[in-house]
Structure 1
Amino acid sequence: MRYVIIGAGAVGGVVGGRLAEAGHDVVLVARGAHHDALRDHGLRLRVPEGELALRIPVVDGPAALGALRPDDVLVLAVKTQDTEAAVRAWGPAPVAGGGTAAERLPLVCAQNGVESQRLALRVFRRVYGVCVWLPCTYVEPGVVSAAGTPLTGILHLGRHPHGTDETARLIAADLEKSRFEAPVVPDVARWQYAKLLANLGNAVEALTGPVAGEEAMALLGRVQEEGAAVLRAAGIAYATPEEQRAVRGDKVTLVPLDGVPRGGGSSWQSLARGTGTIESDYLNGEIALLGRLHGVPTPLNELLQHLAGTFARERREPGSMPLEELVRRADEAVAHTG
């Protein structure tokens, strides 16, 4: 199989780089300065064993790739806010021998949140979800990093909306030859909703910096409990913290990487790169949506969604809001709801 990585940023770049390093056939899809750096200098993958320089074919879209192969696997690794555009661009792409990508090829959504698979299933017949537990960074064109060892990450994989099949098992086998653990599960959404609760803190980190200390952890706990209350009201199951710890163990231990400055998660990175967009609509906003559907107030997640979106649109620096101010606003939001 050949892996076409649509969105070769942090997650896509690391997954594609590790697959290529292990000898698998990979094509990266990127835009702008990142595309140019990958084309001219290759992918620089910074990992605990050093910096790898990988020459991997790169294109800026389906037209540049030409007809897709019948054995292609499309891996969607863009941010959720870019999913619909990517799906609409790649769905009609022709496949050698006839038909389109949407009709014939598997689409694997390696993204945060839970909405991308649903968007993809409107166009693609075969959609797979991934619960991405992969600490990684992309803030410089042509360079991605992943600090986990001995495994780079853990990627639960399954069909959307549920089930498994031989394609999922073949993909998982390739990932497991590439420094990942890739459990194939029939209920991948249950793992994704657990990851969603963890990702509710992404906005806190993006706004105020690393979530550390008693006050920051207390705020994070309130935000996540609000999210858990919404999932309970909606009747949505999610993997327990005990299940997650049992799977992860000490398989992905983070180590300092030479030349890689300490940064933050995916939302922090979006602000650091000044992209103008952020995924909070599909993280905190998912909780706000479910809260409205099921009659559960979500003032904290609505506040984080609004503030993160404002920071992105106005291209503010990550971590530039004092924690005390965010806590004050959170308290006011809860009081007004009450």
Structure 2
Amino acid sequence: MRFIVYGAGAVGGVLGAHLHLSGHPVVLIARGAHLSAIRERGLTLETGTGSRTMHVPAVAGPAEIEWRGGDVVLLAVKSQDTRAALEGLAASAPPGTRIVSLQNGVDNERQALRVFEHVYGVCVMSPTTHLTPGVVRADCHPVPGLLDIGRYPSGTDPVAEQVAAAFRDAGYRSEPRPDIMRWKYGKLLRNVGNAVDAVCGRAEGTQEIFQRVRLEAEAVLDAAGIAYTPADEDDERRADILKVVTGGSRGGGSSWQSLHRGTGHIEADYLSGEIVLVARLHGLPAPYNENACRWADRFAREGRRPGTLDPAEWLSTLPA
């Protein structure tokens, strides 16, 4: 089983490096300066025990790959890039290729199922950082993360078992779960605060906004009858496994990192935006999540530095 890691940024780059180090064949798909750095110098993985640079095959897109039967795509791009990634895969990868979504949000698997028959979701609990081309960092040690997997929309099969085993080979904790989307909706509730973290950082008053955004999201999912793992079940799964390395300089989550790198786009429309969509489909208000999307999109569009918005100003712009 060869792994094609589509999106070698924080999550994908760290996982790809660990899979490579554990002896699994890996091809990375990256872009821009990050791709150039990997090709020229190798991929540098920073962990709690130091850093290691390795030479992993890296390409700019699916068309550059000589596809084999049994290849598994680990889709690790941000949700706003999923459609373009799937279009590239559809043009090059065999129809029976397995697609495994390592992404936040709950819309990516549905998009993939339009194109490929065999789709799997992964609930990713793996704090990582990617700010410098060619360098990724695992922010937890010694276990870099939890990667539970299941078929989409539900169930497990031998491929899920094999992928979970490969993740465990690479040092992760991974279990096949037939209700993987329930876990991913639980993760979504943790991620709806990403947009607030990105624009307000850790300023006083931000935590109160986080709580209101999450409570609103829970109320919307409850009203829509969508199952999700409650916080205590999620916390029990994490337990004391995820130990953040204190020596790192992690400024914020994935959305914060997108603003820091100046990518010009952000994932908010598929996190808080998912809550807004569900709310509108059911005739419900979701002003906090709407505001989270609006501010995050504005920061990305205008190239503003992360963590520079006063929480009071954020609150002052809540929709009526």
Fold agreement, TM-score > 0.5: yes
CA distance in 2, matches of 1:205, 1:247: 24
Query: 2:45 matched to which residue of 1?
Result: 45
Matched, 1:147 2:139: yes
CA distance in 1, matches of 2:142, 2:44: 19
1:204 to 177, 196, 209: 196
Q: Amino acid of the residue matched to residue 199 of structure 1? A: N
Query: 1:104 matched to which residue of 2?
Result: 96
CA distance in 2, matches of 1:60, 1:244: 36
Q: CA deviation at 1:54?
A: 1.3
Identity of aligned residues (%): 48
Superposition CA RMSD, Å: 1.1
2:216 to 223, 226, 244: 226
Q: Amino acid of the residue matched to residue 193 of structure 1? A: Y
Query: 2:185 matched to which residue of 1?
Result: 193
CA distance in 1, matches of 2:172, 2:77: 20
Matched, 1:246 2:236: yes
When the two structures are superposed, what TM-score results if normalisation uses the length of structure 2? 0.98
CA-to-aligned-CA distance 1:115-148 (integer Å, 9 cap, x gap) = 0001111101101001111100111100000121
Matched, 1:171 2:163: yes
CA distance in 2, matches of 1:159, 1:194: 17
CA distance in 2, matches of 1:256, 1:151: 14
Query: 2:130 matched to which residue of 1?
Result: 138
Counterparts in 2 of 1:316-335, with a 5 A limit? 316-330=304-318, 333=319
- Give the SS at the match of 1:295: coil
Query: 1:13 matched to which residue of 2?
Result: 13
What is the aligned length? 320
Counterparts in 2 of 1:66-145, with a 5 A limit? 67-94=66-93, 100=94, 103-145=95-137
Q: Which runs of 5+ in 2 are unaligned?
A: none
Q: CA deviation at 1:327?
A: 2.6
1:275 to 263, 268, 288: 263
Query: 2:289 matched to which residue of 1?
Result: 301
4+ aligned runs moved over 2 Å, structure 1: 327-330
Matched, 1:284 2:272: yes
Q: CA deviation at 1:235?
A: 0.4
The answer as to whether partners of 2:98 and 2:118 remain within 8 angstroms in 1 is yes
Matched, 1:35 2:35: yes
Q: CA deviation at 1:324?
A: 2.0
Q: Amino acid of the residue matched to residue 228 of structure 2? A: Y
CA distance in 1, matches of 2:312, 2:285: 23
Q: Which runs of 5+ in 1 are unaligned?
A: 95-99
CA distance in 1, matches of 2:310, 2:64: 45
Q: CA deviation at 1:261?
A: 2.8
- Give the SS at the match of 2:226: coil
